[in-house]
Amino acid sequence: DVKVTQSSRYLVKRTGEKVFLECVQDMDHENMFWYRQDPGLGLRLIYFSYDVKMKEKGDIPEGYSVSREKKERFSLILESASTNQTSMYLCASSSPGYGYTFGSGTRLTVV
Amino acid sequence: DAKTTQPPSMDCAEGRAANLPCNHSTISGNEYVYWYRQIHSQGPQYIIHGLKNNETNEMASLIITEDRKSSTLILPHATLRDTAVYYCIVRIAYGQNFVFGPGTRLSVLP
């Protein structure tokens, strides 16, 4: 089975901190995605990548950046965390033509 | 990608079949119907997908109407562990990303 592993299940950070959320997949998938999920707003796409060193903005990229130096790893970076970035963050991967496999999520709280 | 419409919530008795409907009246010929579910505090999980033929796997069956404007996900013998939010998504096979709507919150009752 494809596994998508997110480095932390729960994270608490202070306002203004630089935050790294790591995601690793083990099935050589080309595409990787970062979503955030908030009550009443559903899943919203932040960034995605379809190849190493490639990235595309999703629907809500402001305040975030990403890095994909290796095919299996896709990192989401909060340059200066703010309280409105408190959310559940979900990473997913896929091959073209196939569905997503999601990680278990990281629940980030910014205080 | 075509939009979908799902009821916000449904109940189902444990052991009975759960039939979750989805309308996608603007679906185009090259768009697939995908179903995912999300159990509380976990990432969404892929269930099944199809283009125009009915599909079945170990988790569920997918029935797509002949005009492809609607579909039904069937969980044949629902258990308490099937309580989740179920998302119906239509997308071309090589589309870049999935757009998740609010889904249907299925409650399986003992």
When CB atoms are compared, the residue of B34, B97, B101 closest to A42 is: B101
Mean pLDDT score of chain A:
93
In total, chain B counts a number of residues equal to 110
> Is A72 in CB contact (< 8 Å) with chain B?
no
**Tell me: the pLDDT tens digits for A22-56?**
999 998 999 999 999 998 888 899 999 999 989 99
Q: Is the pLDDT of residue A1 over 90?
A: no
pLDDT at A100: 87
CB-based contacts of A55, cutoff 8 Å, min separation 6:
A47, A48, A49, A66, A68
> Is A74 in CB contact (< 8 Å) with chain B?
no
Say if CB B2 and CB B27 are below 8 A apart.
yes
Q: Print pLDDT tens along chain B (110 aa).
A: 668 999 999 999 999 999 999 999 999 888 899 999 999 888 999 999 999 989 999 999 999 999 999 999 999 999 999 999 999 998 876 666 788 888 999 999 99
DSSP string, A52-108: TT--EE-S--TTEEEEEEETTEEEEEESS--GGG-EEEEEEEE-TTS--EE---EEE
Q: Letter for the amino acid at A4?
A: V
DSSP string, chain B: ----B--SEEEEETTSPEEEEEE-TT--TTEEEEEEEE-TTS--EEEEEESSS-EE-SS-EEEE-TTSSEEEEEETT--GGG-EEEEEEEEETT-S-------EEEEEE-
Q: Hey, what are B66's tokens?
A: 């002949």
pLDDT at B91: 84
Rounded to an integer, the average pLDDT of A61-80 is: 97
Say if CB B17 and CB B75 are below 8 A apart.
yes
Q: pLDDT over 90 for what percent of chain A?
A: 77
d(CA A74, CA A23): 5
In this structure, what is the dihedral angle of CA atoms A41, B27, B33, B80, given to the nearest 10 degrees?
A: 50
Q: Which residues pair with A94 in a beta bridge?
A: A31
Residues of A within 8 A of B98 (CB-CB) are 99-100
Residues of A within 8 A of B103 (CB-CB) are 42
CB-based contacts of B60, cutoff 8 Å, min separation 6:
B35, B47, B48, B73, B74, B75, B76
pLDDT at B96: 64
Nearest to A77 by CA among A90, A89, A66: A66
pLDDT at A25: 96
Residues of A within 8 A of B30 (CB-CB) are none
Kindly determine whether residue B100 and residue A43, on different chains, have CB atoms separated by under 8 Å: yes
List the Cα angle A36/A84/A33 in 5-degree steps. 20
From chain B, which residues contact A within 8 Å (Cβ)? Answer: 34, 36, 41-46, 49, 93-94, 96-103
A62 pLDDT band (50/70/90 cuts)? very high
Kindly determine whether residue B102 and residue A42, on different chains, have CB atoms separated by under 8 Å: yes
Rounded to an integer, the average pLDDT of A7-11 is: 92
Q: What are phi and psi of A85, to 5 degrees?
A: -100, 5
pLDDT at B94: 66
